[in-house]
Amino acid sequence: MTSSTLATPHKITRPNLVAVGTIVWLSSELMFFAALFAMYFTTRAVQGPTIWLESTEVLNIPFAALNTTILVLSSVTCQFGVFAAERFQAKRTGSIFSFKSWGMREWFALTFLMGAFFIAGQIYEYAHLVMEGITLSSTAYGSVFYMTTGFHGLHVTGGLIAFLIVMVRVSKARRFTHNQATTAIVVSYYWHFVDVVWIALFSAIYLIK
C-alpha cells in the first residue's frame, strides 16, 4: 500500500434525509392513488360499459387534453427551476424576456401559474359536468370521477402552496443556501409525482372508454 493511498481518506457520502423522507412519503401517496384507481376500475366493471359510455360522452376531451399539456409542461419549467437552484441562482440576472438568465424564482413562478391554470380548468370542467347533470351523487360514474380527480386537484393545490412557500422564503433570505436548494429539489419531486399521476388518470378517465 503506497503512502499516497494512505494519505487520501475515503469520503462517505450520505443520502439527504429530507429527500429520502420525501421519497418514502411519495411511496405512500402512490399507494393511495393506486387505491383510487382500483376503486375506479372496480366500479366501472360492476356498473357495466353502458353507463360509462353515456357519461363519458359529455367529457370535453380536447379541453382536458389542453389542460393536461399545460400541467405536463409545468414539470419542464419546474425542472429548469431546479437546475437554477442547483447552481445557487435564486433570481434572474438579465432581462425577464431572456429565459437563459432566469433563476429559480422565475421558473417556479411560471410553474405556479401553469398549475393554477390547470386547477382553474378543472373547476371549469366541474361546472360544465354539473350543468350536464353529472354530480357527485348522481351516478356511480360521477362519484368516482369527482373523487379521483378531486383528490388529485387537492394534491396540485398543495404543490402550489409549496411553491409559494419556497419563493417567499427565498425572497426574504439574504443569500441562497444549500438548504433552500434542497427544499426546491424536494418540491420538484412532489410536483413531478403529481404530474405523472395525472397522466395515468387522464388516460384511464378520458381515453379508455
Sequential pLDDT tens for the chain (209 residues): 444 444 444 333 445 666 677 778 788 888 989 999 999 989 888 877 777 877 788 899 999 999 999 999 999 999 999 999 998 888 888 888 888 889 999 999 999 999 999 999 999 999 999 998 888 888 888 899 999 999 999 999 999 999 999 999 888 877 888 888 888 999 999 999 999 999 999 999 998 86
Is 22 a member of any domain?
yes
Is 20 a member of any domain?
yes
Number of domains, the chain: 1
What residue numbers bound the domain in which 105 lies?
16-207
Is 81 a member of any domain?
yes
Is 10 a member of any domain?
no
Cell of 114: 401553469
**Tell me, what CATH number does 130's domain have?**
1.20.120.80
User: What pLDDT score was predicted for residue 99?
Assistant: 81
Residue 99 per-residue DSSP state: G
Cell of 118: 390547470
Is 49 a member of any domain?
yes
Is 2 a member of any domain?
no
167-185 per-residue burial string, b: 16 or more CB within 10 A, e: under 16:
beebeeeeebeeebbbbbb
User: What pLDDT score was predicted for residue 11?
Assistant: 39
Is 9 a member of any domain?
no
Is 7 a member of any domain?
no
User: What pLDDT score was predicted for residue 14?
Assistant: 46
